[in-house]
Amino acid sequence: MNQYRVIIIDDDNHILQILTEYFEYENFQVHTASTGQEGLKLIRELNPDIIVLDIMLPEMDGWEVCKKLRPGNNTPIIFLSAKTKDSDRIMGLELGADDYVTKPFSPREVVARAKAVLRRLQREDEVDTEVLNYQDFVINKNERSVRIEKEEIELTPKEFDLLWTLASSPRIVFDRESLLKKVWGYDYFGDIRTVDTHIKSLRQKLGDIVSDYIKTVWGVGYKFEVEEKAE
């Protein structure tokens, strides 16, 4: 069994200690940091498999750490926060986080969520390489890239996964629960509105022409409506 490496960034020593114990019990290699600057340096040095990141940090908060990592670094991130508003959760997901856990939390749940994210990524790595080539744009799953008229569009990992799920099954209508299971995994604990937030962000980034491929099926969910395919 491969040992995963996790970096936990939090300015609360008690949280660092208890999460370290729970992750080590599950055979993770654990590294910790208590400031945003220290955490960012550690991430770049160690290239972890997953990051557990507090939002309210000294020197540099979790939002800024995430912004500096994304989109060039696709390491999965789980935010920890005392912020419980939907707007904060949505902001975290839009920045590219894979999950968002509010305080107080169960350390066992945090570990379970981390394992769920890693299982999903492992399943994705086992899928064969594919490229979808449309008249207006190209999606390359192996490169995890989207190009519109040869210009690469920067997407978060979840935005890319959502686009690929829809585009690789054209004309198929997906309800929100199905998309949550396919993109976030069966073990995802989050809000179903996460799908709508990511669809909105996708449409904004893809622009008017390409975003028109993503159709809303009112009362159900979404589908990818294929137009003329490139020869």
Encode the chain (231 residues) as per-residue pLDDT tens digits.
458 999 999 999 999 999 999 999 999 999 999 999 999 999 999 989 999 999 999 889 999 999 888 767 888 999 998 876 777 778 877 787 888 888 888 999 999 989 988 887 776 655 545 888 877 788 998 888 899 887 889 998 889 999 999 988 888 889 888 888 888 875 555 667 888 999 999 999 988 877 888 999 988 899 998 754 443
**Residue 48 contacts residue 5 (beta carbons within 8 Å):** yes
Count up the domains in the chain and report the number: 2
Same-domain status, 40 and 120: yes
Same-domain status, 76 and 159: no
CB atoms within 10 A of CB 128: 6
Q: Where are the beta strands (DSSP E) in 15-171?
A: 29-33, 50-54, 77-81, 99-102, 131-133, 137-140, 145-148, 151-152
CB atoms within 10 A of CB 101: 20
Same-domain status, 118 and 9: yes
Give the domain-ending residue among 104, 125, 146. Answer: 125
Give the domain-ending residue among 125, 154, 172. Answer: 125
How far apart are the C-alpha atoms of 173 and 2, rounded to whole Å? 37
How far apart are the C-alpha atoms of 97 and 75, rounded to whole Å? 9
Give the domain-ending residue among 95, 125, 155. Answer: 125
Same-domain status, 141 and 216: yes
Q: Euclidean distance between the first and final Cα of the chain, in Å?
A: 45
Same-domain status, 59 and 161: no
For residue 27, what is the domain's CATH number?
3.40.50.2300
**Location of structure tokens 């594919």:** 130
Helices 157-167 + 193-211 axis angle, to 10: 70
How far apart are the C-alpha atoms of 124 and 58, rounded to whole Å? 35
Domain that holds residue 217: 131-224
Closest CA to 218 of 179, 166, 176: 176
pTM of the model: 0.59
Give the angle 88-178-148 at the CA atoms, nearest 5°.
75
Same-domain status, 17 and 107: yes
Same-domain status, 176 and 199: yes
